[in-house]
Protein backbone atom coordinates (compact mmCIF):
# COMPACT_ATOMS: atom_id res chain seq x y z
CA UNK A 1 0.00 0.00 0.00
CA UNK A 2 1.36 3.43 -0.98
CA UNK A 3 1.57 5.67 2.04
CA UNK A 4 -0.68 8.73 1.84
CA UNK A 5 -3.19 10.51 4.06
CA UNK A 6 -5.78 7.78 3.54
CA UNK A 7 -3.20 5.17 4.50
CA UNK A 8 -2.52 7.19 7.67
CA UNK A 9 -6.24 7.25 8.41
CA UNK A 10 -6.50 3.52 7.77
CA UNK A 11 -3.61 2.71 10.09
CA UNK A 12 -4.98 4.97 12.84
CA UNK A 13 -8.49 3.58 12.49
CA UNK A 14 -7.22 0.00 12.64
CA UNK A 15 -5.18 0.75 15.75
CA UNK A 16 -8.21 2.42 17.31
CA UNK A 17 -10.37 -0.59 16.48
CA UNK A 18 -7.80 -2.95 17.99
CA UNK A 19 -7.79 -0.95 21.23
CA UNK A 20 -11.59 -0.96 21.34
CA UNK A 21 -11.60 -4.73 20.91
CA UNK A 22 -8.95 -4.92 23.62
CA UNK A 23 -11.13 -2.87 25.97
CA UNK A 24 -14.14 -5.08 25.17
CA UNK A 25 -12.15 -8.21 25.99
CA UNK A 26 -10.80 -6.59 29.18
CA UNK A 27 -14.36 -5.80 30.27
CA UNK A 28 -15.75 -9.26 29.48
CA UNK A 29 -13.03 -11.85 30.06
CA UNK A 30 -11.94 -12.75 33.58
CA UNK A 31 -8.44 -13.78 32.46
CA UNK A 32 -7.61 -10.25 31.28
CA UNK A 33 -9.16 -8.76 34.41
CA UNK A 34 -7.05 -10.96 36.65
CA UNK A 35 -3.94 -10.03 34.67
CA UNK A 36 -4.94 -6.32 34.70
CA UNK A 37 -3.72 -6.27 31.11
CA UNK A 38 -4.00 -2.88 29.34
CA UNK A 39 -6.44 -2.75 26.42
CA UNK A 40 -3.70 -1.39 24.14
CA UNK A 41 -1.55 -4.45 24.83
CA UNK A 42 -4.45 -6.84 24.20
CA UNK A 43 -5.15 -4.99 20.97
CA UNK A 44 -1.48 -5.17 20.07
CA UNK A 45 -1.45 -8.96 20.43
CA UNK A 46 -4.51 -9.21 18.17
CA UNK A 47 -2.81 -6.88 15.69
CA UNK A 48 0.30 -9.04 15.79
CA UNK A 49 -1.72 -12.12 14.83
CA UNK A 50 -3.89 -10.42 12.20
CA UNK A 51 -1.18 -8.06 10.98
CA UNK A 52 1.78 -8.36 8.59
CA UNK A 53 3.88 -10.59 10.85
CA UNK A 54 1.46 -13.55 10.92
CA UNK A 55 -1.84 -13.75 9.00
CA UNK A 56 -1.51 -10.41 7.16
CA UNK A 57 -5.27 -9.83 7.16
CA UNK A 58 -5.40 -6.24 8.39
CA UNK A 59 -4.46 -3.73 5.64
CA UNK A 60 -1.77 -1.88 7.56
CA UNK A 61 0.61 0.29 5.58
CA UNK A 62 4.33 -0.35 5.36
CA UNK A 63 4.86 2.44 7.91
CA UNK A 64 3.29 0.61 10.86
CA UNK A 65 6.60 0.16 12.65
CA UNK A 66 7.50 3.82 12.15
CA UNK A 67 4.69 5.31 14.21
CA UNK A 68 6.41 4.55 17.49
CA UNK A 69 9.29 6.90 16.65
CA UNK A 70 6.90 9.79 16.12
CA UNK A 71 4.65 8.97 19.07
CA UNK A 72 7.51 8.70 21.56
CA UNK A 73 8.62 12.20 20.51
CA UNK A 74 5.09 13.44 21.28
CA UNK A 75 5.18 11.71 24.68
CA UNK A 76 8.51 13.35 25.59
CA UNK A 77 7.33 16.77 24.38
CA UNK A 78 4.37 16.46 26.77
CA UNK A 79 6.50 15.81 29.85
CA UNK A 80 7.30 19.42 30.88
CA UNK A 81 4.33 21.29 29.35
CA UNK A 82 1.89 22.54 31.96
CA UNK A 83 3.77 20.79 34.76
CA UNK A 84 4.04 22.56 38.08
CA UNK A 85 6.91 22.49 40.54
CA UNK A 86 6.31 20.43 43.64
CA UNK A 87 6.29 22.31 46.92
CA UNK A 88 9.45 21.95 48.93
CA UNK A 89 7.77 20.29 51.88
CA UNK A 90 6.56 17.46 49.66
CA UNK A 91 10.15 16.25 49.27
CA UNK A 92 10.34 15.05 52.86
CA UNK A 93 10.84 11.30 52.93
CA UNK A 94 11.35 11.01 49.17
CA UNK A 95 15.00 9.94 49.41
CA UNK A 96 14.26 6.27 50.03
CA UNK A 97 11.81 6.17 47.18
CA UNK A 98 14.31 7.95 44.93
CA UNK A 99 16.85 5.20 45.61
CA UNK A 100 14.27 2.46 45.06
CA UNK A 101 13.16 3.95 41.76
CA UNK A 102 16.44 5.21 40.33
CA UNK A 103 18.66 2.45 41.70
CA UNK A 104 16.64 -0.34 40.11
CA UNK A 105 16.82 1.41 36.74
CA UNK A 106 20.60 1.79 36.92
CA UNK A 107 21.19 -1.76 38.12
CA UNK A 108 19.01 -3.13 35.31
CA UNK A 109 21.25 -1.35 32.82
CA UNK A 110 24.49 -2.37 34.52
CA UNK A 111 23.52 -5.97 35.35
CA UNK A 112 21.93 -6.51 31.94
CA UNK A 113 25.11 -5.43 30.17
CA UNK A 114 27.22 -7.55 32.53
CA UNK A 115 25.09 -10.63 31.88
CA UNK A 116 25.38 -10.14 28.13
CA UNK A 117 29.12 -9.38 27.98
CA UNK A 118 30.30 -12.03 30.46
CA UNK A 119 27.90 -14.89 29.69
CA UNK A 120 25.55 -14.49 26.74
CA UNK A 121 28.18 -13.16 24.33
CA UNK A 122 30.39 -16.14 25.19
CA UNK A 123 27.64 -18.62 24.37
CA UNK A 124 26.44 -16.72 21.28
CA UNK A 125 29.55 -14.94 19.91
CA UNK A 126 27.58 -13.12 17.20
CA UNK A 127 25.37 -11.37 19.73
CA UNK A 128 25.49 -7.59 19.36
CA UNK A 129 27.43 -5.77 22.07
CA UNK A 130 24.34 -3.73 22.85
CA UNK A 131 22.12 -6.73 23.57
CA UNK A 132 22.54 -6.19 27.32
CA UNK A 133 20.47 -3.00 27.07
CA UNK A 134 17.40 -5.07 26.18
CA UNK A 135 16.64 -5.70 29.86
CA UNK A 136 16.43 -2.14 31.18
CA UNK A 137 15.10 -0.70 27.92
CA UNK A 138 12.10 -3.01 28.04
CA UNK A 139 11.57 -3.65 31.75
CA UNK A 140 12.13 -0.24 33.33
CA UNK A 141 11.69 1.80 30.18
CA UNK A 142 8.64 0.16 28.61
CA UNK A 143 7.45 0.39 25.03
CA UNK A 144 8.20 4.10 24.77
CA UNK A 145 11.86 3.69 25.66
CA UNK A 146 12.08 0.61 23.41
CA UNK A 147 10.91 2.74 20.51
CA UNK A 148 13.33 5.54 21.35
CA UNK A 149 16.41 3.33 21.81
CA UNK A 150 15.34 1.11 18.90
CA UNK A 151 15.36 4.12 16.59
CA UNK A 152 18.81 5.09 17.84
CA UNK A 153 20.23 1.63 17.18
CA UNK A 154 18.53 1.60 13.77
CA UNK A 155 20.48 4.75 12.92
CA UNK A 156 23.61 2.91 14.04
CA UNK A 157 22.83 -0.04 11.75
CA UNK A 158 21.16 -2.49 14.17
CA UNK A 159 17.45 -2.36 13.38
CA UNK A 160 16.65 -5.59 15.25
CA UNK A 161 16.85 -3.87 18.63
CA UNK A 162 13.47 -2.25 17.99
CA UNK A 163 11.76 -5.66 18.03
CA UNK A 164 13.89 -7.00 20.88
CA UNK A 165 13.11 -3.96 23.01
CA UNK A 166 9.39 -4.23 22.36
CA UNK A 167 9.36 -7.94 23.20
CA UNK A 168 11.18 -7.09 26.43
CA UNK A 169 8.63 -4.37 27.20
CA UNK A 170 5.74 -6.76 26.63
CA UNK A 171 7.26 -9.52 28.75
CA UNK A 172 8.15 -7.03 31.48
CA UNK A 173 4.64 -5.60 31.54
CA UNK A 174 2.79 -8.93 31.56
CA UNK A 175 5.35 -10.66 33.78
CA UNK A 176 5.41 -7.71 36.15
CA UNK A 177 1.65 -7.86 36.66
CA UNK A 178 1.52 -11.65 37.05
CA UNK A 179 4.50 -11.85 39.42
CA UNK A 180 3.36 -8.68 41.16
CA UNK A 181 -0.04 -10.18 41.94
CA UNK A 182 1.76 -13.28 43.26
CA UNK A 183 3.87 -11.06 45.53
CA UNK A 184 0.72 -9.30 46.75
CA UNK A 185 -0.96 -12.61 47.58
CA UNK A 186 2.16 -13.63 49.49
CA UNK A 187 2.37 -10.27 51.26
CA UNK A 188 -1.24 -10.30 52.42
CA UNK A 189 -0.81 -13.81 53.84
CA UNK A 190 2.33 -12.68 55.70
CA UNK A 191 0.53 -9.65 57.08
CA UNK A 192 2.78 -7.10 55.38
CA UNK A 193 -0.10 -5.05 53.94
CA UNK A 194 -1.67 -2.29 56.03
CA UNK A 195 -4.83 -1.38 54.14
CA UNK A 196 -6.23 -4.61 52.62
CA UNK A 197 -6.40 -8.22 53.68
CA UNK A 198 -6.88 -9.69 50.20
CA UNK A 199 -6.23 -8.57 46.59
CA UNK A 200 -9.84 -9.52 45.84
CA UNK A 201 -10.79 -6.17 47.36
CA UNK A 202 -9.65 -4.39 44.17
CA UNK A 203 -12.51 -2.22 42.83
CA UNK A 204 -14.38 -3.72 39.89
CA UNK A 205 -13.72 -0.72 37.64
CA UNK A 206 -9.99 -1.35 37.86
CA UNK A 207 -10.56 -4.93 36.76
CA UNK A 208 -12.86 -4.21 33.82
CA UNK A 209 -11.55 -0.78 32.89
CA UNK A 210 -15.12 0.56 32.85
CA UNK A 211 -15.90 3.27 35.42
CA UNK A 212 -19.54 3.31 36.57
CA UNK A 213 -21.50 6.53 36.01
CA UNK A 214 -21.53 7.55 39.67
CA UNK A 215 -17.71 7.41 39.83
CA UNK A 216 -16.91 9.12 36.54
CA UNK A 217 -14.90 12.36 36.69
CA UNK A 218 -14.00 15.09 34.23
CA UNK A 219 -10.74 14.51 32.37
CA UNK A 220 -9.59 18.11 32.17
CA UNK A 221 -10.44 21.82 32.34
CA UNK A 222 -11.76 23.98 29.52
CA UNK A 223 -9.27 26.84 29.33
CA UNK A 224 -10.10 28.13 25.86
CA UNK A 225 -13.56 29.14 24.69
CA UNK A 226 -15.07 26.80 22.11
CA UNK A 227 -16.24 29.90 20.25
CA UNK A 228 -12.58 30.69 19.57
CA UNK A 229 -10.77 27.32 19.45
CA UNK A 230 -11.47 23.85 20.73
CA UNK A 231 -9.44 23.34 23.92
CA UNK A 232 -8.14 19.94 22.78
CA UNK A 233 -6.84 21.41 19.51
CA UNK A 234 -5.23 24.25 21.49
CA UNK A 235 -3.32 21.83 23.69
CA UNK A 236 -2.50 19.47 20.84
CA UNK A 237 -1.11 22.40 18.87
CA UNK A 238 1.27 23.31 21.70
CA UNK A 239 2.54 19.73 21.97
CA UNK A 240 2.93 19.26 18.21
CA UNK A 241 4.89 22.52 17.86
CA UNK A 242 7.40 21.30 20.48
CA UNK A 243 7.57 17.91 18.76
CA UNK A 244 8.15 19.38 15.30
CA UNK A 245 10.83 21.76 16.58
CA UNK A 246 12.52 18.72 18.13
CA UNK A 247 12.49 16.93 14.78
CA UNK A 248 13.80 19.95 12.88
CA UNK A 249 16.58 20.63 15.38
CA UNK A 250 17.65 16.97 15.39
CA UNK A 251 17.92 17.00 11.59
CA UNK A 252 19.71 20.36 11.63
CA UNK A 253 22.35 19.18 14.08
CA UNK A 254 23.01 16.04 12.05
CA UNK A 255 23.34 18.10 8.85
CA UNK A 256 26.14 20.14 10.44
CA UNK A 257 27.79 17.32 12.44
CA UNK A 258 27.30 14.08 10.50
CA UNK A 259 28.55 11.79 13.28
CA UNK A 260 26.35 13.39 15.97
CA UNK A 261 22.83 11.97 15.95
CA UNK A 262 20.71 13.39 18.79
CA UNK A 263 17.43 11.45 18.96
CA UNK A 264 14.27 13.36 18.09
CA UNK A 265 12.65 12.46 21.42
CA UNK A 266 15.50 14.14 23.31
CA UNK A 267 15.17 17.34 21.29
CA UNK A 268 11.38 17.18 21.67
CA UNK A 269 11.86 17.05 25.44
CA UNK A 270 14.21 20.05 25.31
CA UNK A 271 11.75 22.06 23.26
CA UNK A 272 9.00 20.95 25.63
CA UNK A 273 10.94 22.72 28.39
CA UNK A 274 11.50 25.74 26.14
CA UNK A 275 7.79 25.95 25.34
CA UNK A 276 6.99 25.64 29.06
CA UNK A 277 9.45 28.45 29.82
CA UNK A 278 7.82 30.70 27.22
CA UNK A 279 4.35 29.87 28.56
CA UNK A 280 5.43 30.82 32.09
CA UNK A 281 7.18 34.04 31.06
CA UNK A 282 4.23 35.21 28.96
CA UNK A 283 1.65 34.25 31.58
CA UNK A 284 0.02 31.87 29.11
CA UNK A 285 0.64 28.84 31.31
CA UNK A 286 -2.60 29.55 33.19
CA UNK A 287 -4.48 28.52 30.03
CA UNK A 288 -2.66 25.19 29.80
CA UNK A 289 -4.40 22.31 31.54
CA UNK A 290 -1.94 19.67 32.67
CA UNK A 291 -4.62 16.96 32.69
CA UNK A 292 -5.35 17.56 29.00
CA UNK A 293 -1.63 17.37 28.19
CA UNK A 294 -1.48 14.08 30.10
CA UNK A 295 -4.43 12.76 28.07
CA UNK A 296 -2.52 13.56 24.87
CA UNK A 297 0.54 11.79 26.27
CA UNK A 298 -1.51 8.80 27.41
CA UNK A 299 -3.28 8.50 24.06
CA UNK A 300 0.07 8.64 22.25
CA UNK A 301 1.43 5.92 24.53
CA UNK A 302 -1.57 3.65 23.88
CA UNK A 303 -1.17 4.10 20.12
CA UNK A 304 2.56 3.48 20.50
CA UNK A 305 1.97 0.18 22.32
CA UNK A 306 -0.56 -1.19 19.84
CA UNK A 307 1.55 -0.19 16.82
CA UNK A 308 4.80 -1.50 18.31
CA UNK A 309 3.38 -4.90 19.30
CA UNK A 310 1.41 -5.27 16.05
CA UNK A 311 4.55 -4.66 13.98
CA UNK A 312 6.85 -7.07 15.85
CA UNK A 313 8.97 -9.22 13.57
CA UNK A 314 8.61 -12.72 14.96
CA UNK A 315 11.60 -14.01 12.99
CA UNK A 316 13.81 -11.64 15.01
CA UNK A 317 12.30 -12.92 18.25
CA UNK A 318 12.91 -16.53 17.19
CA UNK A 319 16.51 -15.77 16.23
CA UNK A 320 17.23 -14.34 19.70
CA UNK A 321 14.89 -16.66 21.61
CA UNK A 322 17.22 -18.21 24.21
CA UNK A 323 19.27 -15.08 24.99
CA UNK A 324 15.94 -13.30 25.49
CA UNK A 325 14.58 -16.03 27.78
CA UNK A 326 17.69 -15.96 29.96
CA UNK A 327 17.61 -12.16 30.11
CA UNK A 328 13.92 -12.05 31.05
CA UNK A 329 14.22 -14.67 33.80
CA UNK A 330 17.26 -12.84 35.16
CA UNK A 331 15.38 -9.52 35.05
CA UNK A 332 12.32 -10.81 36.89
CA UNK A 333 14.51 -12.37 39.61
CA UNK A 334 16.54 -9.16 39.90
CA UNK A 335 13.40 -7.08 40.43
CA UNK A 336 12.02 -9.48 43.04
CA UNK A 337 15.31 -9.39 44.97
CA UNK A 338 15.32 -5.59 44.74
CA UNK A 339 11.79 -5.49 46.15
CA UNK A 340 12.64 -7.80 49.07
CA UNK A 341 16.02 -6.33 49.98
CA UNK A 342 15.81 -2.66 49.03
CA UNK A 343 12.13 -1.67 49.14
CA UNK A 344 11.69 -3.43 52.47
CA UNK A 345 14.37 -1.30 54.09
CA UNK A 346 13.89 2.01 52.28
CA UNK A 347 10.60 3.33 53.66
CA UNK A 348 9.77 4.60 57.12
CA UNK A 349 6.18 3.34 56.72
CA UNK A 350 4.03 1.30 54.33
CA UNK A 351 7.07 -0.37 52.82
CA UNK A 352 5.03 -3.06 51.06
CA UNK A 353 2.57 -0.65 49.45
CA UNK A 354 5.33 1.71 48.32
CA UNK A 355 7.61 -1.14 47.29
CA UNK A 356 5.00 -2.83 45.10
CA UNK A 357 4.45 0.52 43.38
CA UNK A 358 8.13 0.65 42.54
CA UNK A 359 8.15 -3.04 41.57
CA UNK A 360 5.42 -2.45 38.98
CA UNK A 361 7.22 0.66 37.75
CA UNK A 362 10.43 -1.30 37.24
CA UNK A 363 8.66 -3.91 35.12
CA UNK A 364 7.00 -1.70 32.59
CA UNK A 365 5.36 1.67 33.07
CA UNK A 366 4.09 3.86 35.88
CA UNK A 367 0.58 2.57 35.18
CA UNK A 368 1.67 -0.96 36.14
CA UNK A 369 2.94 0.33 39.48
CA UNK A 370 -0.26 2.30 40.01
CA UNK A 371 -2.38 -0.80 39.36
CA UNK A 372 -0.42 -2.95 41.81
CA UNK A 373 -0.38 -0.16 44.38
CA UNK A 374 -4.15 0.29 44.13
CA UNK A 375 -4.63 -3.40 44.89
CA UNK A 376 -3.02 -3.00 48.34
CA UNK A 377 -3.66 0.73 48.89
CA UNK A 378 -7.04 1.58 47.33
CA UNK A 379 -7.28 4.98 49.05
CA UNK A 380 -3.70 6.03 48.18
CA UNK A 381 -2.61 6.49 51.81
CA UNK A 382 0.99 5.33 51.33
CA UNK A 383 1.99 8.26 49.06
CA UNK A 384 3.44 5.84 46.55
CA UNK A 385 1.89 7.67 43.61
CA UNK A 386 2.90 11.14 44.79
CA UNK A 387 6.49 10.11 45.51
CA UNK A 388 6.73 8.37 42.14
CA UNK A 389 5.80 11.65 40.48
CA UNK A 390 8.36 13.59 42.51
CA UNK A 391 11.04 10.97 41.88
CA UNK A 392 10.39 10.98 38.14
CA UNK A 393 10.99 14.73 38.13
CA UNK A 394 14.26 14.39 40.05
CA UNK A 395 15.73 11.41 38.22
CA UNK A 396 14.57 12.34 34.72
CA UNK A 397 18.03 13.61 33.62
CA UNK A 398 19.61 10.34 34.81
CA UNK A 399 17.08 8.21 32.94
CA UNK A 400 17.37 10.26 29.75
CA UNK A 401 21.16 9.91 29.92
CA UNK A 402 20.82 6.13 30.34
CA UNK A 403 18.61 5.97 27.27
CA UNK A 404 20.88 8.09 25.06
CA UNK A 405 24.51 7.61 26.10
CA UNK A 406 24.95 3.80 26.33
CA UNK A 407 23.80 3.14 22.72
CA UNK A 408 26.05 5.98 21.54
CA UNK A 409 29.12 4.71 23.44
CA UNK A 410 28.52 1.08 22.49
CA UNK A 411 28.37 2.12 18.85
CA UNK A 412 31.98 3.33 19.14
CA UNK A 413 32.99 -0.36 19.32
CA UNK A 414 36.24 -1.68 20.71
CA UNK A 415 36.32 -1.62 24.53
CA UNK A 416 33.52 0.92 24.77
CA UNK A 417 30.82 -1.63 25.69
CA UNK A 418 32.96 -2.62 28.71
CA UNK A 419 33.70 1.01 29.63
CA UNK A 420 29.98 1.80 29.36
CA UNK A 421 29.10 -1.07 31.69
CA UNK A 422 31.71 0.03 34.22
CA UNK A 423 30.38 3.61 34.15
CA UNK A 424 26.88 2.35 34.90
CA UNK A 425 28.14 0.27 37.81
CA UNK A 426 30.00 3.35 39.03
CA UNK A 427 26.77 5.34 38.94
CA UNK A 428 24.99 2.59 40.87
CA UNK A 429 27.71 2.52 43.54
CA UNK A 430 27.52 6.30 43.97
CA UNK A 431 23.73 6.14 44.36
CA UNK A 432 24.04 3.33 46.90
CA UNK A 433 26.67 5.17 48.96
CA UNK A 434 24.40 8.23 49.01
CA UNK A 435 21.40 6.10 50.04
CA UNK A 436 23.28 4.57 52.96
CA UNK A 437 24.92 7.84 54.01
CA UNK A 438 21.61 9.72 54.09
CA UNK A 439 19.80 6.70 55.58
CA UNK A 440 17.47 6.44 52.59
CA UNK A 441 18.22 2.72 52.70
CA UNK A 442 19.12 0.85 55.89
CA UNK A 443 19.91 -2.71 54.68
CA UNK A 444 18.68 -5.40 57.06
CA UNK A 445 17.04 -2.91 59.41
CA UNK A 446 13.39 -1.88 59.15
CA UNK A 447 12.86 1.88 59.37
CA UNK A 448 10.37 3.40 61.79
CA UNK A 449 7.90 1.30 63.74
CA UNK A 450 6.58 -0.92 60.97
CA UNK A 451 6.68 -4.33 62.57
CA UNK A 452 5.59 -7.26 60.43
CA UNK A 453 3.74 -10.44 61.38
Of 385, 364, 378, which Cα lies nearest the Cα of 143?
Answer: 364
Cα–Cα dist 381/353, whole Å = 9
Q: Is 148 in contact with 163 (CB distance < 8 Å)?
A: no
Instruction: Give the count of beta carbons closer than 10 Å to the beta carbon of residue 209.
Output: 18
Q: How many CA atoms lie within 13 A of 332 on its CB side?
A: 20
What are the pLDDT digits (tens) for 208-218? Answer: 989 898 888 88
Element (H, E) at 42: helix 39-50
Output the pLDDT for position 390. 73
Output the pLDDT for position 90. 42
- Rounded to two decimals, what is the model's pTM? 0.78
Q: Is 363 in contact with 173 (CB distance < 8 Å)?
A: yes
Output the pLDDT for position 259. 66
pLDDT along the chain (453 residues), means of 10: 87 97 95 85 94 93 89 89 62 77 96 97 95 95 87 92 93 87 89 79 79 84 92 96 95 82 83 95 94 91 90 92 97 95 88 91 77 77 73 82 93 95 98 93 73 43
Cα–Cα dist 408/416, whole Å = 10
Output the pLDDT for position 127. 96
Main-chain phi, psi angles of 239, to 5 degrees: -65, -45
Q: Is 137 exposed, middle or buried (0-12, 13-18, 19+ CB in 10 A)?
A: buried
Cβ partners under 8 Å of residue 409, min gap 6 = 416, 417, 419, 420
Buried b (16+ CB within 10 A) or exposed e, 50-87: bbbbeeeebebbeebbbbbbbbbbbbbbbbbbbbeeee
Among left, alpha and beta (phi > 0; psi -120 to 50; other), residue 3 is beta
Output the pLDDT for position 389. 67
Cα–Cα dist 129/275, whole Å = 37
Output the pLDDT for position 274. 96
Q: Is 367 in contact with 38 (CB distance < 8 Å)?
A: yes
Output the pLDDT for position 199. 67
Cα–Cα dist 110/18, whole Å = 36
Amino acid sequence: MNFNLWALLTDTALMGALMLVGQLLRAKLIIFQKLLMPASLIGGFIGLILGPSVLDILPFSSQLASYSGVLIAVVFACMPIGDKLTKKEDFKGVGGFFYQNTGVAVIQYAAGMTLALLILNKIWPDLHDGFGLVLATGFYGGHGTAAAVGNMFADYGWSEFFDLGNVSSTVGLVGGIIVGMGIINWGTRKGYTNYVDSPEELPQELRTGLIPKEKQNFGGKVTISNMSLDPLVFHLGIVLVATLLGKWSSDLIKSFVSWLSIPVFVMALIFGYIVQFVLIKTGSVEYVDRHTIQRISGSSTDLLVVSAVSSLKLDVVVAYFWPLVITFVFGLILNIVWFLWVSKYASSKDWFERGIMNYGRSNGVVATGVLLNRVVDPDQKSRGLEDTGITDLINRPILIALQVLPPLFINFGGRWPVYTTLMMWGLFIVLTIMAIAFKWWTPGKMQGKQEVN
